[in-house]
Structure 1
């Protein structure tokens, strides 16, 4: 490695290290689990870059060469595993798409197990196997992020671009470390620039989503609505219209959720306007903890929340989500009464769910139906109801007949099973 190459890689390692330092400052400031996970991933990304660029062989003594080689074999798959683990939560795949969730889980375990297994191969094949596994994982991440972006997650496009930048970076680094051929200084500078752009873009996206989540769940001064800080009614209507267009294109299924607070006047007499606004704010926070920040939520009017759940991997998840939200919102809320004392109040709520597809239904009709279902849920034990698409009646989610997949559910509704006819008795001649 000549002087120009040392300067190129040293500058790149230092620049990427600055990104990691900024992520560490963010983790210390926010003290959130998401920021710590982001710091761990970015630190592993920087370590992967520093180990594979060739600087350790120049700067460290020869006695540490075996440990450096083992680290070079392991760091690629383990970094990919951490990326898939964090990406699964970042994209909320468990709530949105079964195939994406299974792919994230499967690739995570493949990298966790496959990295150490590479050390069991002959010495000449260990680093090659690690390189193949790492590059394969980047291709899978590229597909998964593009799939999530097509399902309505706009930030996922940024991860897709980052994966596109990471792919030539990893190919270039493994090309150098495996000594397949010399690369000119401009090409090495291009590979280093890919790494810097990739880690900067990933760090920015992680910060944006973590900051957005923190704004919604914690910071009461930077949200949208003066009280609940959610989207307004007009914004939610626009998002529903765009979601139906995407569902038509992707042939996916989702749901529309309404959360209705009944008799707020009764609460107003106990806690006043300030306490009532505190109740709305606490209900919004609890609701978002279960629906996730990836699903847009809005305040349709003063006592009604709307959540757009654009993708659901199975119909049965509607039942799970409805019951979780209803159970959480019915737990006691601690607010300040008119006398200044802290009291606990049980909010009278109802949760309504309507199936959402790319059929292009009228938005006003959808909103009217989901509110009517939420009102009907008040008479049900679970306080969560679903609109039956055949009878057009609200039924408790725990009693709804939901199939294991959307295809099976649609087939059952399109071709209902025929009732068995009683066997006719054969008449015998007398």
Structure 2
């Protein structure tokens, strides 16, 4: 800053010196901005060209004659303005006005706005007519942040390390970082693609809300056939449409899949039969004789109208099954309900029950009662297949070794 000091009169006050330093710093910033505009140039601007381009800024900041009188080898020109220009030329800063030009050339509305605190932001796309899930009307895409490098919010630039873009959704979506060195036209391509995606989503939402509104009033009219007119005030119509749009937007906000909804409706999924399921919960004992909780889940066949009835019918069928009874007698043991589930799935299937992994459905509680025992009062006649008759003996019936009949009130004779 020696060049500044030698041009300040010795009788100047410190405040004047500070003002002068500030003006020269602003002139250096203007030189850096010129360099940022010249990033595509292979060689820096000639000194005479640089001075000519800086003249308007010098007129705003300094006594014009003073800047014009500076020799080309002056410390201010060589030591400060030229390095500032080179910093801007090699900084990789992004000209936000240039990005806007390329976005508009693609047919998408865009402008640079002041979003507070001197922050420059590109807004791309059209402002929607109706509010979003948060109750706000927002542009589809924001790009930034940047800063204005000239008075009156002019010459907006952004540093490559900070430059990103994304939906204007109040932070719900993480912005996408734009890689360093991306030229303005490529940045514009990314922004335009995102704008068209979001506007496609908004169009799909608007069409869905419109169709739902028509269906709503059609259903109302069906329930009030005596009403023959459909008058509804314009203000009330706008209020109703805004409420519909806000409700669906909020529903999508809570339920949309990761990445958001598609621009167009995906193909309808083929209809699949609605499967039904039921559960049976019970307590058991493990090998340490400790209680444990278990659950069986069954897929219900179309023929099953009542899960509880189907389950009870399967239990009864198991308890009188000849195979189960023969096994109990042969092995001198008893069979619980878990044997039905584990070893006799065909009995369950005959009653519309198929064991599956756990899914939603009605739940029953099962008691681990003895269903089949070796000492049941049943006919133990063995047929040619090796199976015992197993028919329950009731009302005084006694076993018939020939199993031709079950006698009542009499013991079979030895010759029978």
Per the TM superposition, whether the score is higher than 0.5 is no
Rg (Cα) greater in structure: 2
Greater RCO structure (CA 8 Å; 6+ sep): 1
Q: Give the TM-score normalised by structure 2.
A: 0.25
Would you tell me which structure has more helix in proportion to its own residues?
1
Would you tell me which structure has more strand in proportion to its own residues?
2
